[in-house]
């Protein structure tokens, strides 16, 4: 069996990505839930307009590790994919497309516009799916969902009707960013801010029942007609006597209260501000606190309303001119000064935004939040890392009502109808034909659509068929785990918890793993404007998906941000390459031995040699560590463990020794059996992390030139290794550890004394309480290019090059090869001196800690003990290094 010389992921990654889908192996059979443990997850639905960014890749990689691990543990596993219709961003994309054809959506009309968006979705909406495939995400594509598809739309209606019936949905006043030209409310994301040269006008208001006056500064005098209060800071001693009094609004002579509110900045102007709740978001909040009325003086068309008395019907800027003129005349305009004003404009048409109050739909959140907090308190939902829990509670405790209506055309239209005849509001699951109150047929559906979080908040159950009691819902809900970013913890995660509990009576997921951000190498947030964005598709093409996956995984401590460096991905590819080369060696020897394929066998194969005993034990330890780390969502620990095991233990030590055994040619069969047993288990361990290369290698190993029907069709359906309960052959494991130390000591001595790399030198090892058999001694000698003789006890004749440790002394007889190179190199001296300095520093540090009485009284015993052990170890290394330095000096 031959393996291509070079590791080229591009040759097989796309193939397996396709095959995994075609073969349908990730389709979850709900019927199996009766007899199996279940693990289910939903993918946080990316925007349909989106394309993959590095954060998705990171999130999907961790999720895929979890999913593949559970699947390989024999659980019934579902990972459900899908996309979000993303109201605003999708509508904007299509509107831009229309603009290039010279059409507006108003010209097309609502129905035709919606048709155009669907058309756009069919054409371009598939990009993100293709990218998720390339990530190797083992999702069940047969269950793919879209937040606007028929089933999910029904769930959204059910949700709205349910909340309405319970009195949790209501209509109320709310301040929005309004574009008078586009005739729509805009989210903050759709507005831009500009500094323009304007004015600050100082206007005098009279305090009721006296001679006192107050001066108020404003940049928008036209809004003063809608003032319903003046406000001062509660601690401002200049105005304490005015608390509870009233003032007279100039021009309209309306009496308005003076309120005390800490929102007021006493240093701005005179410290007195006007409150216009209907046209300013801050004032809106003040008005809510003080229960002030809202008077809307500017309408949706940016003209003054009937509320503005003599100015009604005027454009807002014309009204400004006239109001200023009138104030000038009455002497109430005290001062005009130049002032830089921050103006919000419509991102699309640059019209100045008018903040105004309008009728919106709300969800009353308090009762929903109570239930959510209760569920988290009871531990029915667990946050990882758990410090995120505090923030969740803080949000839930301060939650405000949720404005769910949007003045858009793309989205779930609100299932409410207004009767034109009697003004009745009808909320219904099915479109009504007549008004139930007056039987009029003149009813019209509300024109607003719902906030996208209103549908994505149902995602874990609407995707499984809710509100119907489907087989899927019974099998896979509540889902087991959600892996998502910190940024949508409030917007999305908390809403899923609240709505899930309210609508299904159960939590939507049992655990939430919150991951950190992927930042650039300098820990800066990636952004297009900074130009430091790493495009996952570019690096996948460059390094292969597996290499990028492992690079991301080993970089990420739980919940912490990643500083992603390009050399990590380089290292990821080198790692994959290492595995590839090891496989090549094994496969070549398989072929030489006439073996075509390998049937995986249980791990407890009798270890035939010292290195087998050692690698079985290392594998057992690694298996144990990986399973434990995955259990608690420590993906970086699991991947780091495997990285070390594959690279440094299996490839660097074990295979190096095995190569010698293969060369010796004796007992070949046993050596093979052990090497392949560990190798095959290693592939399975590594599969969740690097699915492509492990599938490629495993298929070749296990299925060889044909498919062996008794084996699973894919490594992803094979079983995940479980650690044997107890370590085996302790003595042999210890011997191999000793062998490693001797080889390392010999290599260092050779390097320090610049011995000819090719020359084999004679040496003696003095062992305190161990005896090597001939094969091990030969192996150690071959690895370090020395001829070893073993003796028991301690060294007595201190000639030649010596390395000592508690367990052995190694003596390289320097007569011959060593003498002509005996002089210590400056490099070696420098290396040893550096090591000594580092050790002295470490010893100093731990001495300080161990001498600290408060630390000792507070630290857990385990920590103190390990610190003491470390301290002893440092001392030993220090002594050894000093000796080495002395030897060099001789
Ligand atoms: Zn506009
Ligand atoms: Zn009616």
- Render pLDDT for 765-824 as a digit per residue (tens, 0 to 9): 999 888 998 888 988 988 988 889 999 888 888 788 888 888 899 998 865 444 434 444
Q: For residue 426, which ligand has an atom nearest its CA?
A: 2
Distance 348 CA to ligand 1 centre (A): 5
| pTM of the predicted model as reported, rounded to 2 decimal places | 0.82
Structure confidence at residue 819 (pLDDT): 41
Model pLDDT for residues 209-234, shown as the tens digit of each residue: 888 999 999 999 999 999 999 999 99
Distance 168 CA to ligand 2 centre (A): 23
Determine how β-strand 402-403 pairs with β-strand 191-207: unpaired
CA distances from 779 to 656, 740, 772 (A): 9, 10, 10
Q: Is the pLDDT of residue 607 over 60?
A: yes
Report the 10 Å Cβ neighbour count for 251.
19
- Mean pLDDT across the stretch 375-400? 90
The residue with tokens 């021009």 is: 251
Determine how β-strand 808-812 pairs with β-strand 801-804: antiparallel
Three-class SS state of 545: helix
Q: For residue 418, which ligand has an atom nearest its CA?
A: 2
Q: Which of 828, 481, 529 is nearest to 635 (CA)?
A: 481
Distance 444 CA to ligand 2 centre (A): 11
Distance 358 CA to ligand 1 centre (A): 17
Distance 181 CA to ligand 1 centre (A): 5
CA distances from 172 to 163, 175, 418, 452, 615 (A): 15, 10, 15, 20, 69
Model pLDDT for residues 526-559, shown as the tens digit of each residue: 877 777 788 888 999 999 999 999 999 998 876 6
- Mean pLDDT across the stretch 347-373? 91
CA distances from 419 to 416, 432, 434, 527, 838 (A): 10, 11, 8, 48, 82
Of the chain, the end-to-end C-alpha distance in Å amounts to 54
When mean pLDDT is compared across 198-207, 288-297, 353-362, 854-863, the lowest value belongs to: 854-863
Q: For residue 302, which ligand has an atom nearest its CA?
A: 1
HSE-up of residue 81 (Cα within 13 Å, Cβ side):
25
Cis peptide before 467 (omega within 30 of 0): yes
Q: For residue 351, which ligand has an atom nearest its CA?
A: 1
Q: For residue 186, which ligand has an atom nearest its CA?
A: 1
Distance 349 CA to ligand 1 centre (A): 4
Structure confidence at residue 816 (pLDDT): 46
Of the spans 251-260, 384-393, 671-680, 748-757, which averages the highest pLDDT? 251-260
- Confidence class for position 596, pLDDT limits 50, 70, 90: confident
DSSP assignment of 237-256 equals: GGGGGGTT-EEEETTTTEEE
Q: For residue 345, which ligand has an atom nearest its CA?
A: 1
- Confidence class for position 602, pLDDT limits 50, 70, 90: low
CA 726 to chain centre: 37
Distance 427 CA to ligand 2 centre (A): 13
Report the C-alpha gap between 157 and 462 in whole angstroms: 11
- Mean pLDDT across the stretch 164-190? 85
DSSP conformation class of 645: I
**Which of residues 746 and 666 earns the better pLDDT score?**
746
Model pLDDT for residues 193-210, shown as the tens digit of each residue: 999 999 999 999 999 988
The residue with tokens 């009284």 is: 857
Q: Which of 575, 585, 601 is nearest to 693 (CA)?
A: 575
Instruction: Tell me the two tokens of residue 51.
Output: 């394309």
Q: Is the pLDDT of residue 890 over 60?
A: no
Q: For residue 179, which ligand has an atom nearest its CA?
A: 1
> What is the total residue count of the chain?
890
Name 843's Cβ contacts closer than 8 Å, sequence gap at least 6.
871, 874, 875, 878
Structure confidence at residue 821 (pLDDT): 41
Model pLDDT for residues 698-735, shown as the tens digit of each residue: 999 988 766 666 889 999 999 999 988 877 788 888 99
Report the C-alpha gap between 169 and 156 in whole angstroms: 13
Residue 853's Cβ-count burial label (10 Å; 0-12, 13-18, 19+) is exposed
Distance 418 CA to ligand 2 centre (A): 8
Structure confidence at residue 870 (pLDDT): 84
Distance 172 CA to ligand 2 centre (A): 21
Report the C-alpha gap between 858 and 852 in whole angstroms: 10
Name 677's Cβ contacts closer than 8 Å, sequence gap at least 6.
600, 601, 603, 605
Distance 351 CA to ligand 2 centre (A): 38
Distance 72 CA to ligand 1 centre (A): 54
Report the C-alpha gap between 178 and 176 in whole angstroms: 6
Distance 884 CA to ligand 1 centre (A): 78
Model pLDDT for residues 407-453, shown as the tens digit of each residue: 888 999 999 999 999 999 999 999 999 999 999 999 999 999 999 89
Report the C-alpha gap between 48 and 50 in whole angstroms: 5
Q: Which residues pair with 74 in a beta bridge?
A: none
Q: For residue 434, which ligand has an atom nearest its CA?
A: 2
HSE-up of residue 806 (Cα within 13 Å, Cβ side):
7
Distance 179 CA to ligand 1 centre (A): 5
Cα radius of gyration (the chain): 37
| H-helix or E-strand spanning residue 561 | none
Distance 446 CA to ligand 2 centre (A): 15
Instruction: Tell me the two tokens of residue 230.
Output: 């003046």
DSSP conformation class of 168: -
- Mean pLDDT across the stretch 275-287? 92
Distance 407 CA to ligand 1 centre (A): 13
Distance 443 CA to ligand 2 centre (A): 8
Q: For residue 441, which ligand has an atom nearest its CA?
A: 2
Given a contact cutoff of 8 angstroms between Cβ atoms, the answer to whether 435 and 121 are in contact is: no
Report the C-alpha gap between 299 and 92 in whole angstroms: 24
Distance 417 CA to ligand 2 centre (A): 10
Q: For residue 438, which ligand has an atom nearest its CA?
A: 2
Distance 190 CA to ligand 1 centre (A): 9
Determine how β-strand 509-515 pairs with β-strand 416-419: unpaired
Three-class SS state of 822: coil
Distance 106 CA to ligand 1 centre (A): 13
Distance 436 CA to ligand 2 centre (A): 7
Report the C-alpha gap between 441 and 756 in whole angstroms: 100
Per residue, what are the HEC states of 674-694? Answer: HHHHHHHHHHHHHCCCCHHHH
Report the C-alpha gap between 779 and 743 in whole angstroms: 10
CA distances from 610 to 81, 439, 676 (A): 48, 90, 16
Q: For residue 421, which ligand has an atom nearest its CA?
A: 2
Distance 432 CA to ligand 2 centre (A): 12
Q: Which residues pair with 146 in a beta bridge?
A: 83
Three-class SS state of 199: strand
Given a contact cutoff of 8 angstroms between Cβ atoms, the answer to whether 343 and 196 are in contact is: yes
Model pLDDT for residues 298-337, shown as the tens digit of each residue: 999 999 999 999 999 999 999 999 999 999 999 999 999 9
The residue with tokens 């295979």 is: 655
Report the C-alpha gap between 537 and 627 in whole angstroms: 30
* Beta strands, E only, 166-224: 169-179, 184-186, 191-207, 213-218
Q: Which of 317, 279, 284 is nearest to 199 (CA)?
A: 317
Per residue, what are the HEC states of 270-293? Answer: CCEEEECCCCCHHHHHHHHHHCCC
Distance 435 CA to ligand 2 centre (A): 5
Distance 433 CA to ligand 2 centre (A): 11
Structure confidence at residue 430 (pLDDT): 92
Instruction: Tell me the two tokens of residue 56.
Output: 């998705």
Backbone angles phi, psi at 530, to 5 degrees: -80, -20
Report the C-alpha gap between 85 and 450 in whole angstroms: 11
Three-class SS state of 566: helix
């Amino acid at each position: 069996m031959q393996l291509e010389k070079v590791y080229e992921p591009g040759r097989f990654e796309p193939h397996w990505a396709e095959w995994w889908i075609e073969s349908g192996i990730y389709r979850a059979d709900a019927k199996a839930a009766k007899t199996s443990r279940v693990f289910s997850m939903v993918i946080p639905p990316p925007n349909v307009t989106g394309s993959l960014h590095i954060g998705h890749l990171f999130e999907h990689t961790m999720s895929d590790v979890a999913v593949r691990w559970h699947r390989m543990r024999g659980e019934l596993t579902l990972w459900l994919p899908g996309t979000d219709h993303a109201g605003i961003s999708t509508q904007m994309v299509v509107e831009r497309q229309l603009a290039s054809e010279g059409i507006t959506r108003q010209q097309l009309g609502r129905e035709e516009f919606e048709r155009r968006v669907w058309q756009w979705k069919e054409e371009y909406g598939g990009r993100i799916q293709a990218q998720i495939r390339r990530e190797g995400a083992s999702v069940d594509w047969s269950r793919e969902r879209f937040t606007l598809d028929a089933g999910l739309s029904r769930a959204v209606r059910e949700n709205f009707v349910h909340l309405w019936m319970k009195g949790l949905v209501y209509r109320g006043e709310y301040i929005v960013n309004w574009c008078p030209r586009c005739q729509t409310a805009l989210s903050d994301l759709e507005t831009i801010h500009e500094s323009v040269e304007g004015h600050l006008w100082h206007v005098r208001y009279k305090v009721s029942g006296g001679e006192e006056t107050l001066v108020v500064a404003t940049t928008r005098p036209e809004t003063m007609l809608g003032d319903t209060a003046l406000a001062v800071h509660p601690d401002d001693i200049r105005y304490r006597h005015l608390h509870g009094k009233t003032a007279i609004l100039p021009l309209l002579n309306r009496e308005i209260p003076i309120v005390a509110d800490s929102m007021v900045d006493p240093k701005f102007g005179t410290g007195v501000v006007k409150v216009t709740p209907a046209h300013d978001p801050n004032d809106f909040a003040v008005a809510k606190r003080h229960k002030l009325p809202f008077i809307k003086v500017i309408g949706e068309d940016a003209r003054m309303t009937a509320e503005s008395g003599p100015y009604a019907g005027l454009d807002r800027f014309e009204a400004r001119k006239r109001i200023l003129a009138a104030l000038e005349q009455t002497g109430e305009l005290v001062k005009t000064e130049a002032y830089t004003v921050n103006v919000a404009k419509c991102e699309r048409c640059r019209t100045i935004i008018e903040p105004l109050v309008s009728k919106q739909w709300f969800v009353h959140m308090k009762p929903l939040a109570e239930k959510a907090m209760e569920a988290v308190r009871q531990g029915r939902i667990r946050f990882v890392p758990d410090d995120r829990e505090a923030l969740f509670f803080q949000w839930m405790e301060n939650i405000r009502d949720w404005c769910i209506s949007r003045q858009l055309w793309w989205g779930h239209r609100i299932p409410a109808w207004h009767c034109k005849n009697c003004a009745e509001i009808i909320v219904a699951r099915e479109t009504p034909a007549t008004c139930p109150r007056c039987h009029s047929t003149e009813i019209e559906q509300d024109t607003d659509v719902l906030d996208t979080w209103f549908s994505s908040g149902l995602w874990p159950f609407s995707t499984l068929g809710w509100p119907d009691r489907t087989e899927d819902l019974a099998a896979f809900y509540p889902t087991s785990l959600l892996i998502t970013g910190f940024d949508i913890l409030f917007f999305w995660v908390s809403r899923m918890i609240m709505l899930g509990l309210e609508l299904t009576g159960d939590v939507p997921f049992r655990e939430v793993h919150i991951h950190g951000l992927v930042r650039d190498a300098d820990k800066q947030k990636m952004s297009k404007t900074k130009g430091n964005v790493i495009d996952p598709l570019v690096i996948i093409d460059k390094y292969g998906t597996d290499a990028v996956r492992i690079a991301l995984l080993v970089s990420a401590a739980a919940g912490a941000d990643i500083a992603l460096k390009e050399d990590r991905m380089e290292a990821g590819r080198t790692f994959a390459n290492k595995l590839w080369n090891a496989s090549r060696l094994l496969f070549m020897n398989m072929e030489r031995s006439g073996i075509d394929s390998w049937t995986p066998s249980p791990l407890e194969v009798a270890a035939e040699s010292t290195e087998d005993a050692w690698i079985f034990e290392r594998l057992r330890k690694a298996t144990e560590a990986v399973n434990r780390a995955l259990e608690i969502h420590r993906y970086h620990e699991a991947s780091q463990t495997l990285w070390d095991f594959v690279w440094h233990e299996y490839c660097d030590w074990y295979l190096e020794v095995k190569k010698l055994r293969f060369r010796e040619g004796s007992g070949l069969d046993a050596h093979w059996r052990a090497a392949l047993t560990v190798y095959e288990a290693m592939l399975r361990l590594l599969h969740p992390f690097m699915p492509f290369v492990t599938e490629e290698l495993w298929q070749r190993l296990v299925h060889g030139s044909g498919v062996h029907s008794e084996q699973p069709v894919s490594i992803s359906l094979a079983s995940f290794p479980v650690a044997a309960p107890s370590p085996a052959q302790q003595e042999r494991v210890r011997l191999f550890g000793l062998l490693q130390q001797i080889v390392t000591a010999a290599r260092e001595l050779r390097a320090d004394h610049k011995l000819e790399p090719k020359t084999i030198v004679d040496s003696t090892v003095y062992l305190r309480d161990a005896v090597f058999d001939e094969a091990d001694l030969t192996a150690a000698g071959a690895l370090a290019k020395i001829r070893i003789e073993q003796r028991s006890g301690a060294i007595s004749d201190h000639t030649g090059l010596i390395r000592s440790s508690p367990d052995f002394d190694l003596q390289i007889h320097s007569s011959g090869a060593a003498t002509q190179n005996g002089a210590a190199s400056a490099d070696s001296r420098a290396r040893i001196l550096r090591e000594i300095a580092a050790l002295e520093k470490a010893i100093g540090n731990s001495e300080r800690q161990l001498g600290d009485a408060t630390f000792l009284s507070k630290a857990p015993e385990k920590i103190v003990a390990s610190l003491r052990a470390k301290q002893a170890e440092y001392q030993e290394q220090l002594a050894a290094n000093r000796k080495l330095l002395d030897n060099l000096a001789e």
